[in-house]
Amino acid sequence: MKTTEEISGWFNYPNAYKFLIDSVPDGGIFVECGSWLGKSSSFLCDHAKDRIKIFIVDTWTGSESELKTMHELALKKNIYEIFLHNMGNRKFTAIKKDSIDASRDFEDEECDVVYIDMEHTYEAVKKDIEYWLPKVKPNGIIAGHDYYDGFPGVVRAVDEKFHKSIVSIMDDITWVVHKKDIV
């Protein structure tokens, strides 16, 4: 089992994750959509300990739009095996599906927090929000990564779905929406 710092990948939002983890009541559900090699997932599990149920959703085959860039490793290695090795004996449930299919595994209003960080195209993020928002409890949170100019599709999808006054930005990159604020 590797520490978060030892795992390759992207995780530049520890304050956002601490806030989101603390927002989940004991025994509640946190769904992380997008894990790659487990850097953010390891942090999530380590800080949540056994207090909440953690579901980690990914295909572990790389995002189609990023296979020739950031996810090129998926063309050469079994990402899921690397992920499992990195995660070790941490407590979580892996769901090896795309985001939309995985959302169907949950009842409406079952999840306390859903964090979206899979495919970064406008169309994909728009669909992720559409399918996951009903799964969030009325007092829950939907959030996601890469809300910045480098991923204009993420910004556009979030801005179109939610009024800017209810979107909080944490760690300069994570968007957060409290479902109770959606009119």
CA 50/CA 1 separation, integer angstroms: 17
Q: Are 157 and 102 in contact (CB under 8 A)?
A: no
Residue listed under structure tokens 């799964």 = 135
CA 113/CA 132 separation, integer angstroms: 10
CA 29/CA 64 separation, integer angstroms: 28
Identity of the residue numbered 109: E
Kindly state the DSSP code that residue 97 receives in the 8-state scheme: S
Query: What's phi and psi for 176, nearest 5 deg?
Result: -135, 130
- The CA-atom distances, in angstroms, between 32 and each of 69, 92, 159, 164 are 22, 10, 21, 23
Q: Are 101 and 129 in contact (CB under 8 A)?
A: no
pLDDT of residue 92: 97
pLDDT of residue 162: 94
pLDDT of residue 161: 94
Q: Are 94 and 112 in contact (CB under 8 A)?
A: no
Helix (H, G, I), strand (E, B) or coil at 175: strand
- The tens-digit pLDDT sequence of the chain (183 residues) is 899 999 988 898 999 999 999 999 999 999 999 998 899 999 999 999 999 999 999 998 766 666 555 556 555 678 899 999 999 999 999 999 999 999 999 999 999 999 999 988 999 999 999 999 999 999 999 999 999 999 999 999 999 999 887 899 999 999 999 999 986
**Reported pTM:** 0.93
Show the tokens assigned to 102.
């995985």
pLDDT of residue 167: 92
Identity of the residue numbered 179: K
For the chain, the distance separating the N- and C-terminal CA atoms, rounded to the nearest angstrom, is: 43
pLDDT of residue 177: 97
